[in-house]
């Protein structure tokens, strides 16, 4: 690595953007269910409460009661209908049951066809992440080229920076592949 403040800043930005890309991929995968109750599928669920949209996790508890059942217990029981309505509108594919005190979400066993569809979705997400990583590489390479053309970096320094960027990108693409493979295995395990 070169002792140059701009280069250090460039590499910090590179790593930060790559970290965020991987984090988004993991977050997306957390919301994909594999036939087991997963409270993360409700992370982005907004409920109309007290005149504004509020995240579900700020309105009550979401607990896993068994391998295939989530129990949502709002602190304010008058919000049960609103929570139920938000779940139905969210297209998570599960019909809530409201017993007057809690809402239960029972996850059905996944069919082989549904598992295959989810695997396709996972692979598509993985490819989108790889494209994002490659775009980050392009942006970083362009910045290095500008620094070289602006005489801030010598030819050799620019070459070394490009090699470091390629190494970093290769590691992240490999990480994306591992995450995708793990999620795929999780989905196909019955």
Confidence of residue 44 (pLDDT cuts 50, 70, 90): confident
Q: Which among 86, 106, 126 is the end of a domain?
A: 106
Question: 124 and 99, same structural domain?
Answer: no
Question: 184 and 142, same structural domain?
Answer: yes
Span 123-137, average pLDDT:
94
Question: 177 and 86, same structural domain?
Answer: no
Total-model pTM: 0.70
Question: 76 and 50, same structural domain?
Answer: yes
| Residue span of the structural domain in which 169 resides | 5-31+111-188
Q: What pLDDT was estimated at residue 180?
A: 93
Q: What pLDDT was estimated at residue 96?
A: 86
Q: Which among 106, 128, 147 is the end of a domain?
A: 106
Q: What pLDDT was estimated at residue 98?
A: 87
Q: Which among 106, 137, 158 is the end of a domain?
A: 106
What are the tens digits of pLDDT across the range 14-39? 999 999 999 999 888 877 766 677 77
d(CA 85, CA 88): 5
For the cut 90, the answer to whether the pLDDT of residue 178 exceeds it is yes
Nearest C-alpha neighbor of 99 from the set 60, 73, 76, 75: 73
How many structural domains is the chain composed of?
A: 2
Question: 100 and 115, same structural domain?
Answer: no
Instruction: Write the CATH number for 68.
Output: 3.30.1360.40
Which is more confidently placed, 1 or 64? 64
Question: 91 and 45, same structural domain?
Answer: yes
What are the tens digits of pLDDT across the range 81-94? 888 888 888 877 77
What are the tens digits of pLDDT across the range 134-158? 999 999 999 999 988 988 888 888 8
Question: 174 and 126, same structural domain?
Answer: yes
Q: What pLDDT was estimated at residue 3?
A: 59
Question: 67 and 17, same structural domain?
Answer: no
Question: 116 and 101, same structural domain?
Answer: no
User: Positive or negative, the Cα torsion across 114, 119, 122, 123?
Assistant: negative
Q: What pLDDT was estimated at residue 49?
A: 85
């Amino acid at each position: 690595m070169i002792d140059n403040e701009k280069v250090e800043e460039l590499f910090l930005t590179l790593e930060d953007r790559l970290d965020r890309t991987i984090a988004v991929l993991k977050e997306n995968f957390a919301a994909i269910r594999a036939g087991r109750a997963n409270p993360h599928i409700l992370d982005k669920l907004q409920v109309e409460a007290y005149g504004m949209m509020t995240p579900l996790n700020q309105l009550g508890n979401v607990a896993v009661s068994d391998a295939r059942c989530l129990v949502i217990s709002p602190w304010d029981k008058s919000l049960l209908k609103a929570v139920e309505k938000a779940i139905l509108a969210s297209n998570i594919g599960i019909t809530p049951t409201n017993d007057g005190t809690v809402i239960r979400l029972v996850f059905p066993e996944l069919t082989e066809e549904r598992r295959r569809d989810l695997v396709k979705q996972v692979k598509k997400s993985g490819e989108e992440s790889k494209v994002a990583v490659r775009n980050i590489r392009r942006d970083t390479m362009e910045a290095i080229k500008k620094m070289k053309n602006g005489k801030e970096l010598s030819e050799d320094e620019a070459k070394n920076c490009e090699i470091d960027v390629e190494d970093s990108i290769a590691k992240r693409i490999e990480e994306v592949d591992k995450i995708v493979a793990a999620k795929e295995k999780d989905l196909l395990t019955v």
